[in-house]
Chains A and B, each alone.
Chain A
């Protein structure tokens, strides 16, 4: 198998493009969620933009917003379903991605999803879970999804400070046999403090030629009530109970 030559300049420009898009106009009503994909074998460069512009989106009845779509690159195909949900108590970002390497060489991919929420609480619990799979789309051989250099396969964070790495290097997931699937799952959590400016998922990996990978990453930050708030809740509960007994 011929190893690809990675063009990091291309990937860096993808990240830059994503940053520049931040200030761009968005579709009316759609939350600001940016998406970027770059592949080492794609001479046309990275693709990045607002998910509301790249595909379809809808405000769902439960208050969340969902984005779906697909893009064909020169040597890859990606389809996505991304759901964001923000309330006073929690913020979730859920991204389901399928990536097909349509070239005859293995390729390195870098994908990023970035959600800029409304300003949100200062303290909370940040939980990350990611399920991944790889499928061999051939009658022979294997399919391999693996880490690149020292980058974790899945990264998730809140702004620049709170970052969780899953599937740290060196990691490889291998499916053997015709149309065989290999899968794995990992999760982690941490407490965070400070205002949440953005919630993001990133993935960097190498995928064997002609094969398909899925990445399903779910992050949630839920508020941890401050001691003062807990005291107020306790008092309110005590008053309610007292009233109930008096009636």
Chain B
């Protein structure tokens, strides 16, 4: 068997990167019901707009995972794309976690918005939430803030083809001393299925924070011009 663990950091391929500035280190954790458990550090690449991008892949003989995360550590928000293939002969449970450090932790009540989209393909396949759990979680400073696609969520493809599902939520988080923001995907995937999640979370700055963010955006724009 050709068992290989391959982690591809964003900077590693082709050497065509010109935007890399070096940057924040995020943590990418993947665990499966088949006993796989791996935690790896991903170095973020600074993008021109001030956000960071992290990307990592895992390839095994029974599954593959690819994660891309784009976040703004100074104005907490994160976008993610996670792709998973169950190449085994049985249903598998996955827990995929990415933690982004915050450079400027805040301490206030913040409104948040979150949404997640799932695209499932294969032959007679299904994606389902684990019992008493949700598929999409956002933890702010260790507190489970957003939970979308809750149990008994299920997405099915009958015959060959594709299917999609979408969920969104909003609320207020009391942000205390937290120094990181993490997203977590927990789900069961039937054999032969491929799923791609696209999810986002953002906090909506309070009036004072909004003024600071607006000022930063104005300065960035001015610098560009």
Query: Which residues does A use to contact B, with CB under 8 Å?
Result: 29, 44, 47, 54-62, 64, 66, 68-74, 77, 79-81, 83, 92, 94, 96, 98, 100, 102-104, 127, 129-131, 133, 135, 137-139, 177-181, 183, 185, 187, 210, 212, 214, 216, 218, 220, 222
CB contact under 8 A between A61 and B88, given known A68-B83, A69-B13, A100-B70: yes
Q: Which residues of B (105-129) have their CB < 8 Å from a CB of A?
A: 113-117, 119, 121-123
How close is B20's CB to chain A, nearest CB, in angstroms?
Answer: 7
Query: Which residues does B use to contact A, with CB under 8 Å?
Result: 2-4, 6, 8, 10-11, 13-14, 16-20, 45, 47-49, 51, 53, 55, 57-66, 68, 70, 75, 77, 79, 81, 83-85, 87-89, 113-117, 119, 121-123, 160-164, 166, 191-192, 194, 196, 198-202, 204-205, 213, 217, 224
How close is B53's CB to chain A, nearest CB, in angstroms?
Answer: 6
How close is B114's CB to chain A, nearest CB, in angstroms?
Answer: 8
Contacts A58-B4, A64-B87, A131-B196 known; 4 new A-B pairs at CB < 8 A: A60-B61, A72-B10, A79-B66, A183-B117
A179 to B112, CA, bound (A): 11
- Determine the chain B residues whose CB is within 8 A of the CB of A137 once the complex forms: 51, 70, 79
Q: Are B10 and A70 in contact (CB under 8 A)?
A: yes
Which label, helix, strand, loop or mixed, suits the secondary structure of the B interface?
strand
Q: Are A74 and B57 in contact (CB under 8 A)?
A: no
Q: Are A66 and B53 in contact (CB under 8 A)?
A: no
The contact sample of 21 A-B pairs, CB cut-off 8 A, is A56-B57, A58-B60, A60-B88, A62-B88, A62-B89, A77-B55, A79-B81, A94-B121, A96-B66, A96-B121, A100-B68, A100-B70, A127-B161, A135-B198, A137-B70, A139-B217, A179-B113, A179-B114, A179-B115, A181-B198, A216-B196
CB contact under 8 A between A62 and B87, given known A44-B16, A94-B121: yes
Residue of B nearest to A219 (CB): B160
Which label, helix, strand, loop or mixed, suits the secondary structure of the A interface?
strand
Q: Are A96 and B196 in contact (CB under 8 A)?
A: yes
Q: Are B200 and A181 in contact (CB under 8 A)?
A: yes
A123 to B194, CA, bound (A): 26
Q: Are A178 and B204 in contact (CB under 8 A)?
A: yes
- Determine the chain A residues whose CB is within 8 A of the CB of B117 once the complex forms: 133, 181, 183, 214
Closest 5 CB pairs of A and B: A60-B87, A56-B6, A179-B200, A129-B162, A81-B83
A220 to B157, CA, bound (A): 14
- Determine the chain B residues whose CB is within 8 A of the CB of A73 once the complex forms: 16
Q: Are B164 and A185 in contact (CB under 8 A)?
A: yes
Select one of B59, B61, B119 contacting A214, CB under 8 A: B119
Q: Are B8 and A59 in contact (CB under 8 A)?
A: no
How close is A86's CB to chain B, nearest CB, in angstroms?
Answer: 14
- Determine the chain A residues whose CB is within 8 A of the CB of B162 once the complex forms: 129-131, 185, 187, 216, 218
A75 to B10, CA, bound (A): 14
Select one of A61, A83, A183, A212 contacting B79, CB under 8 A: A212
Q: Are A60 and B81 in contact (CB under 8 A)?
A: no
Select one of A79, A102, A135 contacting B57, CB under 8 A: A79
- Determine the chain B residues whose CB is within 8 A of the CB of A69 once the complex forms: 8, 13, 57, 66
- Determine the chain A residues whose CB is within 8 A of the CB of B198 once the complex forms: 98, 133, 135, 181, 183, 212, 214
Residue of B nearest to A210 (CB): B49
A180 to B18, CA, bound (A): 28
Q: Are A60 and B13 in contact (CB under 8 A)?
A: no
Q: Are A72 and B200 in contact (CB under 8 A)?
A: no
Q: Are A72 and B70 in contact (CB under 8 A)?
A: no
